[in-house]
Amino acid sequence: MMSKGRKILVVDDEASVRKLVSSYLSREGYQVLESADGEDALKIARTQHPDLIVLDLMIPSMDGLEVCRILRSEMDIFIIMLTARIEETDKLLGLGLGADDYLTKPFSPRELVARVKAVLRRGRAPLASTQTILRAGAIEIDPERHLATAEGRVLDLTAREFDIISQLASRPGMVFTREKLLELVWGYDFYGDPRVVDVHVAKLRKKLEADSSRPKYIQTVRGVGYKLETGEE
């Protein structure tokens, strides 16, 4: 069974939600840990090293966005965020911080289980190259060292951002649709909002471009997707 041995941390201040989600995940063979607040969730994550965290946005002591931010700076684990807020900005902010997916409450426990399975099944996408250094003008990417530079400057990228620029740099000038980037970086079974691509590209641009409002490298092809230009005439 794919789920055997996989460890899931469920973080929600509502005991009824935790018990319901834990029950459904346990039936699928996952090892389930529970936490009711942000600080406790961090302690559990640091000691138990779960494969995935189901993380509520509104939790005591430290909210879900801050927990997500800290976890992303310390480890590379999957995060599915839960939110009772319907504002798109909250959802997109969560995804921009590195969440892999989100669900808005109330949600179907079966849908959550399907999202968990999809996220774990797709894993981290393989890079465009695992042997050679990719060069696209002033941008260089070393997959083996997980290192990206632009004009000699080291870029501090998340795993998703690194995968995106690696894919774009593998074919400079080629337009990658959002759907193609979802397939290559997130995996075939992605169930979430396709705009997650836009959020991650925006974060990547801020780290890559001198002026992210007038990008030199990552260009938007309106209505289609993105391409990487070398910045050379």
**Which tokens belong to 222?**
């309106």
Of the pLDDT bands very low, low, confident and very high (cuts 50, 70, 90), residue 149 is very high
- 118/150 same-domain check: no
Residue 199 has pLDDT above 50, yes or no: yes
Do 149 and 114 share a structural domain? no
* For range 155-174, the mean pLDDT: 90
Mean pLDDT of 113-127: 74
Of residues 90, 58, 46, 68, the one with CA closest to residue 160: 68
Task: Name the DSSP class of 81.
Answer: E
Confidence of residue 60 (pLDDT cuts 50, 70, 90): very high
Do 1 and 15 touch, CB atoms closer than 8 A? no
Domain end position, chosen among 122, 146, 177? 122
**Residue 96 is assigned to a structural domain of this protein:** yes
CA distance 189 to 123: 10
User: Above 60 in pLDDT, residue 130?
Assistant: no
For the beta sheet containing 139-142, the strands, ordered from the edge strand earlier in sequence to the opposite edge, are 134-136, 139-142, 147-150, 153-154
Q: Give residue 27's pLDDT.
A: 94
* One domain, residues 86 and 176: no
CATH number of the domain bearing residue 20: 3.40.50.2300
Mean pLDDT score of the chain: 85
Distance in angstroms (rounded) separating the CA atoms of residues 28 and 46: 24
Residues 152 and 79 in one domain: no
Q: For position 76, what pLDDT does the model report? A: 78
Any domain includes 2: no
Please, which residues have CB within 8 angstroms of residue 83's CB and are 6 or more apart in sequence?
Answer: 56, 57, 58, 64, 90, 91, 94, 102, 103, 104, 105
Q: Is residue 52 assigned to a domain?
A: yes
Same structural domain, 13 and 118: yes
The residue range of the domain holding 117 is 7-122
Q: Give the count of domains, the chain.
A: 2
Beta-strand (E) ranges in 58-105?
Answer: 78-83, 101-104
Q: Answer yes or no: do 106 and 140 share one domain.
A: no
Task: Specify whether the CB–CB gap between 172 and 232 falls below 8 A.
Answer: no
For tokens 């080629």, what's the residue? 174
Domain end among 122, 145, 168: 122
Residue 74 has pLDDT above 90, yes or no: no
Q: Are residues 116 and 139 in the same domain?
A: no
The DSSP-derived string for 160-215 is HHHHHHHHHHHSTTPPEEHHHHIIIII-TT--S-TTHHHHHHHHHHHHH-SSTTS-
**Cα gap 147→202, rounded to integer Å:** 19
pLDDT at 127 over 50: no
- What's the CATH code of the domain at 166? 1.10.10.10
- 42 and 97 in a common domain: yes
For 135, residues 6+ apart whose C-beta sits below 8 A from its C-beta are: 141, 169
Out of 122, 157, 180, a domain closes at 122
143 and 166 together in one domain: yes
